Chain A
Amino acid sequence: MKDQVVIVGAGLGGLRAAESLRGAGYDGHIVVIGDEPHLPYNRPPLSKEALAGGVNVEDLHFRRRPTIDDVEWRLGAKVVSSDLEAGIVRLEDGSEIPFTGLVIASGIRPRQLPIPGPTTGRVLLRNADDAAYLRDRLGPDTHLVILGAGFIGCEVAATARKLGAEVDVVALDPEPLVRPLGEEFGAAMRRHHEANGVRFHLGRTVQEVLGDDHVTGVRLDDGTELPATVVLEAIGSVPNVEWLDGNDLDLSNGILVDDSMRVVDSPVPAVAVGDIARHPNALFPGEPMRVEHWNMPTEIGRHAGKTLAALLAGAEPDPTPFAAVPSFWSDQYDLNIQSFGMPGLGDPVLVDGDIDGDCIVEYRKHSGEKDELVGVVGINRSKDLLPYRKTLQSRQQ
């Protein structure tokens, strides 16, 4: 069989993998299989600009490099199983697609809790259809209850307030965004949201969604009832690994890869890209991690494409270990939040500005004598963050 790479997943990770394969000189056929009907598009606007202004997927399409013009896109097709030893993936309709090289880029989906109650009016937010559905239900007459106070929950809260909706946020965490930002900074974010009319119910869970056919409210674990016309569940994500079952791979949290993004224990050339990849990072030594930040599929894709191209050419992958500075950003009200590094690994120190306004917060990790910068978060201070990224990038030397 001539070389054929199958990329499972037509999101940002799949796109970057295809481009990187071509960039590394792989000239065989590439098939990208995506379960949505769309070419790769940008998801972050789905909780922000696109949710506020209307969802048009064409406007969200990524630029595709001319080098991948000959890639075959199998869109609206779901991969349900695979046999890596035999070199095939199977689609829902039973058809099999053979490969000599595999890119695992099937991403994540929102976690859903088994909360009893009606399902109409309950939404998750992952793809353009979800965003369009939610968009149609947001307006001045809407009462939105959001479960979860992470990025998606907070961004949708801000957007929904802009559209005039009533917004309640219910979360078990002590403060919004507590995991990436820490408690003090999270509390400042809560105050921003409260000043914009969002109500928080923290340390609480939803026990029941109320209503007969359609959502009318939720009941919290302390008995409080909140009215709701729509309920958004934004409580984290689950990696889409089920189609890899039966191949003796480590699927305990995403798919485990080595520092070249090669799938550990794969019998055939295979790499993983994006949110699904649990990978080492030379800048942050320790356990392999999945990092669901937007810049990572691009960083990982660059590395993984080169690795797979080498393996298919019968060569050893470049031994330079993967090293990238994770970065996230978030727009909420007039706040541009941007981060570099892994703030969650350190303790926050306010180094400039006001925690309730524009500021820079460093995250430092202390171990023994060592006190090192592991991350930084700034609000409306992008320019001042630039030197931090350079410092973090040089951690490996």
Chain B
Amino acid sequence: MVDEVEDKKPLWRDAFDTSFLIFAALALVGGVVCYSLLGVDAVKASLRDDSELVLFLIPKLGAAVLIARFIQVLLPADFFGRYMGEEQGLKGMAIATAAGAVTPGGPMTSFPLVTMLRDTGTGVSALVAYVTSWTTMGLQRVFMWEVPLMGAEFAAVRFLASMPLPIIAGLVARLLPAEASRPTDEGK
């Protein structure tokens, strides 16, 4: 699996990494500004809301990470990737859309797959459709963040509204001149 590497680091270092520190610093600055502008009551109200939200989230987060991981085991992204290079046109974009939706994790796991697909001859419209699908319809993001925080109805509406987007982006990409033919190896 693609994200095997990131699982090798010790847990504590992974949990309290740079993005944790950045957010901790932001939270601290936010708290201080809030205190000095609005007073201690605003800080207390904010902390009360925050703890409610976190307590509401924890039981859902447990189920969400399980769902995301099980989907990944059942439908590995490379499964679709195998067919992406072979299919042209709308069918290729449709497969790319399915592959993008089931690709787990952040950009460090999806972009290596995009690079590999390009090197094996996948056209630019399918690549654009794949990246668009992964960012707008990524199921891991939907289950880990959107459903717990915004509710299933919001997530379902957004997911449905996003369904045409990868194909539209892929079709527009095909009209653009820059990378009409097989891409070069630049930027690698």
Are the chains A and B members of one assembly?
Answer: no
